[in-house]
């Protein structure tokens, strides 16, 4: 009877391990590419570091081309868009000082900063509707609702509030049928809540 040398066994085992790792790495790589393809990143205007001191300090409105310093913005109003985040906070969190909900995920900038990130350490991005990339919006994650997913990104219809997917005036997290616009009977009393 012949026996396989231990070194040969170890080498064989290492090779198998490497092949398994390679297959795993390839799979992960493919998954990442698929995810990037399925979640087109919206492009948001950015704060810029005009004097190259390492800190962002100016906001450029891409539609008009106007550039504002923080002082310019504060001269208009400390919270221009009324979203509960001061211009300075919008700078800190890279959100748009002229837009109520920069990433359109249903959490207004002030709530995303104060309630979610500072209050609950959620680490949401103010410029990504789905920070962790699981196709559930940051709004729905904040409220513990995982019923509606957006594998192709948020739907692009005018006036959408992504916390109310089916547009029946019930937010996803209180809508038992979040994808059924004809059923908004959250308390199951047989009467649509908008008629009660
Ligand atoms: Ca604001
Ligand atoms: Ca804002
Ligand atoms: Ca938001
Ligand atoms: Ca998510």
pLDDT tens digits, 31-64: 544 444 444 444 445 899 888 999 889 999 888 8
User: pLDDT at residue 77 above 90?
Assistant: yes
**What's the pLDDT score for residue 6?**
47
Q: Where are the domains of the chain?
A: 1-38, 43-163
Cα of 144 from ligand 4 centre, angstroms: 11
Cα of 129 from ligand 4 centre, angstroms: 7
Ligand lying nearest the CA atom of residue 131: 4
Cα of 111 from ligand 1 centre, angstroms: 11
Q: What is the 3-state secondary structure (H, E, C) of the chain?
A: CCCCCHHHHHHHHHHHHHHHHHHHHHHHHHHHHHHHHHCCCCCCCCEECCCCCCCCCEEECCCCCCEEEHHHHHHHCCCCCCCCCCHHHHHHCCCCCCCCCCCCCCCCHHHHHHHHHHHHCCCCCCCCCCCCCCCCCHHHHHCCCCCCCCCCCCCCCCCCCCCCCCCCCCCHHHCCCCCCCCCCCCCCCCCCHHHC
**What's the pLDDT score for residue 181?**
83
Total-model pTM: 0.70
Cα of 22 from ligand 3 centre, angstroms: 38
Cα of 158 from ligand 1 centre, angstroms: 22
């Amino acid at each position: 009877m012949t026996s396989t040398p231990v070194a040969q066994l170890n080498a064989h085992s290492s090779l198998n391990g490497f092949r398994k790792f390679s297959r795993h790495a390839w799979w992960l790589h493919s998954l990442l590419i698929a995810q990037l393809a399925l979640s087109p990143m919206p492009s948001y205007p950015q704060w810029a570091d005009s004097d190259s001191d390492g800190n962002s300090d100016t906001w450029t409105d891409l539609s008009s081309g106007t550039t504002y310093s923080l002082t310019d913005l504060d001269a208009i109003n400390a919270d221009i868009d009324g979203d509960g985040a001061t211009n300075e906070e919008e700078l800190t969190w890279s959100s748009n000082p002229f837009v109520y909900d920069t990433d359109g995920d249903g959490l207004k900038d002030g709530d995303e900063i104060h309630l979610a990130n500072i209050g609950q350490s959620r680490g949401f991005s103010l410029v990504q509707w789905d920070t962790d990339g699981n196709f559930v919006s940051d709004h729905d994650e904040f409220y513990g609702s995982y019923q509606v997913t957006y594998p192709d990104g948020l739907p692009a219809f005018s006036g959408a509030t992504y916390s109310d997917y089916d547009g029946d005036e019930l937010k996803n997290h209180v809508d038992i049928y979040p994808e059924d616009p004809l059923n908004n009977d959250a308390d199951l009393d047989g009467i649509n809540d908008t008629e009660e």
